[in-house]
Amino acid sequence: MRCLFFHMVLLFGVIGCRSTLQTSPAAGLPAPVASAAKGQPLALGEGYACLQNKKGQGQCLGSEGKTSAPASWQALRAAGSTPVIRQLMARATVSCAVGVRPASLENRVLCWQPQRTRSLPSSDQDSILLSGKFPSSILSLALQKDKVCVLAVDGQVACGDLSTRGPFTLASVKGLRSIRQLRSGESFSCALRGDTGAIFCWGDNSAGQLGLGSSLRSESEPVAIAGFSGFATVMEAGSQHVCAINSAGEVQCWGSNSDQQLGMEGDKQLEPHVVRGLPAKASTLALGSRHSCAQLVDGSVWCWGAREFLGSETQGGLIPVRVPLPVASATLIASPDRTCSQLTTGEYFCWGMEPEILAGPP
């Protein structure tokens, strides 16, 4: 399969404006284009992308369908309004965010199923799920396939079931405190303690993604992972694998290794494994279903795993390869089949399975 590059330029206007699509080269990197979406949070789902406009409202755009079809932005609505939101994120076909305004939606978790086909007429997307108001201020969200978990500012974690359409309850996860970072894969979650650097995981363990050093199929309560070297400072989860950075800047990964996304041989790894071949300390991670990427302290981005997701003309595999970005990276995000870097200039530069330039109204 050819390695496909695309530069996603997200230029937002008001709802009702139409965007245009252009096909990018199958190889080589198109020049960056100034984006009116600079600094606006981006979330990647399966077949769609969402971000917040300048008013703090959520809008999504499908990427499936005919490339010549005009694309239409969707407004994310809830309880009869287009709310101001924060902490927008996506996994698979569901996107969620925390309500800010109106007051009736403040600190409540809102979830949608954005339209993925861009050839359909634009239509607002009403929330399919809505939590009760959470008692503590929500710091961040983590999405599984059928669950949403919240990290509160007091370091507590709570999760809710997304398998039913309608209101849901966020129930506290026992055994966790002083949590600094919360991440979820397809059917599991991991939490990083800020005071000890320890990582706790729970849920599905069929690919060793809980890092327990055992082949137990699942864990209903958080368990400390085995064999992590050093004090963990940053953690990210892919569909069935996890990577974390320690205070020395090393990247250690565990779980599914179907395409060498752990940077090693074998089909899975039950305990953390150090990724070799990174030329400098890592600062940020982004994981998909079959690939992993790390941003280094110098702003360069390196990826390993399945070839089509690495952003470089390479065979892929366990040795990290550098993504040829036009300027240094500021941060990374990933979906199962795509990765995006928000560059230091503010633009988003993306690579993976979608070979297109996505441009909106000026």
> Strands (DSSP E) along 162-305, which ranges?
166-168, 171-172, 179-184, 188-193, 199-204, 218-224, 232-237, 241-246, 251-256, 268-274, 282-287, 291-296, 301-305
Measure the CA–CA gap between 328 and 300, rounded to whole angstroms.
Answer: 6
Q: How high is the pLDDT of residue 26?
A: 28
Classify domain 40-172 at the CATH class level: mainly beta
Q: How high is the pLDDT of residue 19?
A: 27
Q: How high is the pLDDT of residue 78?
A: 95
Q: How high is the pLDDT of residue 354?
A: 52
Q: How high is the pLDDT of residue 68?
A: 63
Task: Name residues of the chain where pLDDT drops below 50.
Answer: 1-37, 355-362
pTM: 0.87
Distances (CA, A) of 72 to 15, 61, 64, 358, 359: 9, 6, 12, 11, 11
Q: Are 231 and 276 in contact (CB under 8 A)?
A: no
Q: How high is the pLDDT of residue 67?
A: 58
Q: How high is the pLDDT of residue 361?
A: 30
Measure the CA–CA gap between 284 and 16, rounded to whole angstroms.
Answer: 36
Q: Which strand ranges, in their side-by-side order, compose the sheet holding 251-256?
A: 232-237, 241-246, 251-256, 268-274
- List the chain domain ranges: 40-172
Q: How high is the pLDDT of residue 101?
A: 96
Q: How high is the pLDDT of residue 295?
A: 98
- List phi, psi (to 5°) of 308: -70, -10
- List phi, psi (to 5°) of 63: -120, 0
Measure the CA–CA gap between 39 and 344, rounded to whole angstroms.
Answer: 10
Measure the CA–CA gap between 224 and 207, rounded to whole angstroms.
Answer: 17
Question: Which residues, including other chains, have CB under 8 Å from residue 187's CB and lie 6 or more apart?
Answer: 144, 145, 146, 203, 204
Q: How high is the pLDDT of residue 120?
A: 64
